[in-house]
Amino acid sequence: MMPDVVRICLVLVLVSSAFLLSSRSLSNLVKNYQYQSVLLVLIATGLAVIEDRPLLFLIAALTLASKVFGLPAFIRMIQERMRIQQDIRFSYLHPTGALMVSIGIILLVYVCFARILHTLYAHNSLFFLGSVIGVSMVLMGLLAVCTRKMAITKVIGYLSMENGVLLFGLFVTELPFIIEFVIMVDLIILVLLTTLLTVGIDSSIEEYKVRLQKFHLWTEEEGAQ
């Protein structure tokens, strides 16, 4: 029962990555990322039960706090201040082309992994599927970073890539928890900075300083010195 649930979640994760390549609405993109992260939480929990690895419960909790609630809330707040609802511009590839390339990516990763890792996963098809989907997600996220025009959408593409790395890590090996934790902190710092910078690039630069003041990064008191 549990392995089947994990399999379904894995397929849904892949669907959410595809949605990232085609959606034009910024709020939907954030929601999509949030759902993708919820699926990761479910997968981590499922694996914790199947494999009897309690550490994965901690990773699931960490993912829930940071990726399901923390980061989406922050990005949503920035989006509201930017007053931009849509990202309709694409570079290099339009959604249909990007989805076709994604199918190619998934097949390529499958074939490569089948050749390279067959000895490692010969006994467990679920782990093989998880690894393939994890790396495919990373590459699809990269495709989103390359094809989407607005910086804020690129940030979500990057976050999806990072979800792929997490998924791959969950299935392939068990890294020390402290490493997982510090990576999450590192990711949060990176996303906070990048998202703040996107305000300067996705909206008019003249308003940038005013907006930074709104986020309380600059104070009049400091400026008066």
Partner 1 sequence: MIVMLYPVCGVIILLLQLTQKKHQWLSLLGVIHSVLYLFITAILVLYPKTWDQNLFFIVDHLNVFVMLITSIIFTSASVYAVGYIGGLVKSGDIDKRSLRIFYFGFSLLLFVTTMALFSPDIALFWIFAELTTVLSALLISILTIRANIDASLKYIFICSTSMLFSFLGIIFLFEAIRNSTGVGSLEWSVILKEASTCDSGMIWIAFVLFFIGFAAKSGIVPFHTWLADAHAKAPSAVSAVLSGAILNVGMYGIFRMTGIVHGTGVAYQASLLLLVFAMITMSVAVFSMLCQKKLKSLIAFSSIENMGFILLGAAIGTPMAFFWALFHMLGHSLIKAGLFLSAGILHRQYKIPTRTGEDEIGDLFRLQPVAAITLMGGFAALIGMPVFPLFFSKVGILIACAEVSIWIPVLVLLLFAIAAAALIKFYLSIMAAEFPDGEGPAPYIAPVWMIIPIITLLLFSVMIGIMMLPGEESFLLAAVSDIGIRVNP
Interface with partner 1, residue 54, by CB under 8 A: no
Contact (CB, 8 A) for 175 and 159: no
Distance of CA 18 to the CA centre of its chain: 12
Interface with partner 1, residue 1, by CB under 8 A: no
d(CA 64, CA 38): 7
Which one of 8, 42, 49, 165 is in contact with partner 1 (CB under 8 A)?
165
Interface with partner 1, residue 51, by CB under 8 A: no
Which one of 13, 138, 140, 156 is in contact with partner 1 (CB under 8 A)?
138
Contact (CB, 8 A) for 37 and 68: yes
Interface with partner 1, residue 46, by CB under 8 A: no
Q: Which is nearer to partner 1, 1 or 119 (CB)?
A: 119
- Burial track 44-83 (b if 16+ CB lie within 10 A, e otherwise): bbbbbeeeeeeebeebbebbbebbbeebbebbeebbeebe
Interface with partner 1, residue 194, by CB under 8 A: yes
What residues make contact with partner 1 under the rule CB under 8 A? 116, 120, 135, 138, 141-142, 145, 151, 154, 158, 161-162, 164-165, 168-169, 172-176, 179, 182-183, 186, 189-190, 193-194, 197-198, 200-201, 205, 208-209, 217-219, 222-223, 225
